[in-house]
Structure 1
Amino acid sequence: MPQPVSILSLATASPPHQLPQAEVAAVARGLFQHVFPQYDRMAKVFDTAGVRTRQAAMPMDWYLTPRSWPERTEAYLQGATELFVAAASKALDEASLTGGEVDIIVTVSSTGVATPSLEARAMGRLGFRPDAARIPVFGLGCAGGATGLGLAARLARSSPGAVVLLVIVELCTLAFRMADLTKADIVATALFGDGAAACVLKCGEGGFAVVEASAEHTWPDTLDIMGWRVDPEGLGVIFARAIPPFARAELRPAMTSMLAGAGLCLDQVDRFVCHPGGMKVIEAIEAALSITQGGLDHERAVLAQHGNMSAPTVLFVLDRARRVGLAERSVVTALGPGFTASAVSLKRAA
């Protein structure tokens, strides 16, 4: 019988620049109203997105100058490395460990390109050993928090005694653009924020939760729902199909299938811990999984305070949930490009 994998710690980190939603909406109107014919009809998204403020790696003025891909990449490398160090340091401190005790580092990020990857750039500052295994993961998008947690747990289970550090960093605001606008760009401007989260996992007892199982479900012929487009400015968001109605119709059977693989059913889940992609996505998940309307309260609170930070957002929700008291069995879940659902079942530590 394999040893249980415990989550020893969980930490979050946010960049320093606050972007109040009212201020972002006012700036967006000044920039977009005269160049995007449907802007007045689209502008209500700033009121309905469920975001009150979010944090960004760069100050507001930085985004108001057209930026090339090299400029965005430089901002990503600096900002993402700082967030990596901040989140990882807090997670290691909570686990009473040092960087030198980490055996495997899993880095999840899809909002910039870093080669060498972020854990290598942070290696000296965190004191990682030269023989630590480095596993950078790109392309998971919003599903990266749940998928990354599942991957880190599988690595810990397959390497008993190893300390696995999972760090998830996304700088979604760097996708902001002023030219060649699409509806998706305006939605992204109303939703996206930056942030990072980190966990330490290891086989054995301890921590606040035990990972029971993880699973993914990718729907065929759904590549167009969500992703990045690449152009001379960098990475631009794609929302080619509406995500809320898709989630409302398709998430329940996918979740039922994922849970069945672990010998579980929906009725055995005490709390779903969900990635809050936006207010309409939250409402669609509640409907799909028969959660009382308004039941995803932690999700709404994180969205309001931080916006949609892509992959780390669901771990912000998990951190909030565990601080008020984790349910006996929780399922961490997120939707992302692919189009994919990811789920990780957790049992509260004894």
Structure 2
Amino acid sequence: HLGKTTTVKRRYTVLSREILDNYPELASEGSPTIKQRLEIANRAVLEMALEASLACIKEWGRPAQDITHIVYVSSSEIRLPGGDLYLATELGLTPDVGRVMLYFLGCYGGATGLRVAKDIAENNPGSRVLVTTSETTILGFRPPNKDRPYDLVGAALFGDGAAAVIIGSNPDLSRERPFMELNYAVQQFLPGTHTVIDGGLTEEGINFKLGRDLPQKIEDNIEEFCKKLMSKASVNNYNDMFWAVHPGGPAILNRLENTLKLNSEKLECSRRALMDFGNVSSNTIFYVMEYMRDELKSKGRGGEEWGLALAFGPGITFEGILMRSL
């Protein structure tokens, strides 16, 4: 029961029967299809990013032309110019919008996008930064093969989607309603673990290998990392905080919960995002944060003030942000 193992109840994918009918070669083992995959992915990634960005700008309530910078995160497209340019054009942003591309960071890309946007916002008074993440599994799709049963776990765990958020400093409270403050951000890699999450581009697309020791490596290093982030706030009990953790898979969440002795409801938003969307790479942290925003809102004054956003990916890289609920 893969659904039980991965805890994923539904996922959304770009890949469809129609696409496979148009590109039958995607279903045959070993055929060089990187060109076809990029044809599908480049278009899909932009389309999803555009939809997420438009919804985000609408909720923000200010005109798109007020966006001064764009941070575009994806591990699912390859082209020059990149999707950042096409997105800026489609949204009608000004031609002097400052663009940053974050390519192929994998699952921690969303958190990196937030860290980079925070730096831009703090260093450019009045700026408003659109962070958008968009991912599809097309580049890594492989036809089912009984010699690679592990592929099915990936197929049941990973999904497609996009997300968008606007970051700024000194909000204009007459027309903006910020819900989270990004207080302090840290990125760290674990020396000597670069082979644990291993990805490479081939003629057939992207091949990923995930080491079985990934949850253990995260478990061994996570407590020290969290302490570093928490040192900037006046909190030292893990259960006094809210947690927005990238749900790489259920094992990672379970290990984290046990190691840090978290109450079972602490990772509820992460588990729900995994169940509802799967692991959508760089996007997932935003789905978790959206659930977290609703949860904190419903708790009102009784909600936790401080929290951590955490994501893990190739490197092994940890990306963490100390956040304050507003």
Q: Name the TM-score, length of structure 1 as normaliser.
A: 0.81
Change (3 A) 1:324 1:147: same
Q: Does 1:149 align with 2:114?
A: yes
Query: What is the rounded CA distance, in whole Å, between the counterparts of 1:249 and 1:193 in structure 2?
Result: 28
Give structure 1 stretches of 5+ with no counterpart: 1-43
Change (3 A) 1:77 1:138: same
Matched ranges for 1:179-198 at <5 A: 182=148, 184-198=150-164
Question: What residue is the counterpart of 1:277 in the other structure?
Answer: 248
Q: Secondary structure at the match of 1:221?
A: coil
Query: What is the rounded CA distance, in whole Å, between the counterparts of 2:153 and 2:169 in structure 1?
Result: 41
CA RMSD of superposed structures (Å): 2.0
Question: What residue is the counterpart of 2:16 in the other structure?
Answer: 59
Change (3 A) 1:145 1:288: farther
Q: Does 1:303 align with 2:274?
A: yes
Q: Name the TM-score, length of structure 2 as normaliser.
A: 0.87
Q: Is the 8 A contact 2:244 2:307 kept in 1?
A: yes
Question: What residue is the counterpart of 1:343 in the other structure?
Answer: 320
Q: Is the 8 A contact 2:157 2:278 kept in 1?
A: yes
Change (3 A) 1:53 1:47: same
Q: Is the 8 A contact 1:66 1:177 kept in 2?
A: no
Worse overlay, 179-188 or 240-249: 179-188
Displacement of 1:183 in angstroms is: 5.4
Displacement of 1:94 in angstroms is: 1.2
Query: What is the rounded CA distance, in whole Å, between the counterparts of 2:149 and 2:71 in structure 1?
Result: 34
Question: What residue is the counterpart of 2:168 in the other structure?
Answer: 202
Judging by fraction of residues, say which structure has more helix: 2
What one-letter code is carried by the residue in structure 1 that aligns with 2:313? G
What one-letter code is carried by the residue in structure 1 that aligns with 2:311? A
Displacement of 1:288 in angstroms is: 2.5
Question: What residue is the counterpart of 2:207 in the other structure?
Answer: 236
Q: Is the 8 A contact 2:257 2:264 kept in 1?
A: yes
Change (3 A) 1:228 1:60: farther
Question: What residue is the counterpart of 1:34 in the other structure?
Answer: none
Matched ranges for 1:161-180 at <5 A: 161-178=126-143
Displacement of 1:184 in angstroms is: 4.8
What one-letter code is carried by the residue in structure 2 that aligns with 1:131? D
Question: What residue is the counterpart of 2:48 in the other structure?
Answer: 83
Q: Secondary structure at the match of 1:113?
A: coil
Displacement of 1:53 in angstroms is: 0.9
Q: Is the 8 A contact 2:74 2:104 kept in 1?
A: yes
Q: Secondary structure at the match of 2:264?
A: coil
Q: Secondary structure at the match of 1:122?
A: helix
Query: What is the rounded CA distance, in whole Å, between the counterparts of 1:98 and 1:54 in structure 2?
Result: 32
Out of 267, 280, 283, the residue aligned to residue 237 of structure 2 is 267
Deviations 1:269-296 (A, max 9, x none): 5111000111111111212322123531
Q: Does 1:320 align with 2:291?
A: yes
Q: Is the 8 A contact 1:256 1:265 kept in 2?
A: no
Paired residues in the alignment total: 305
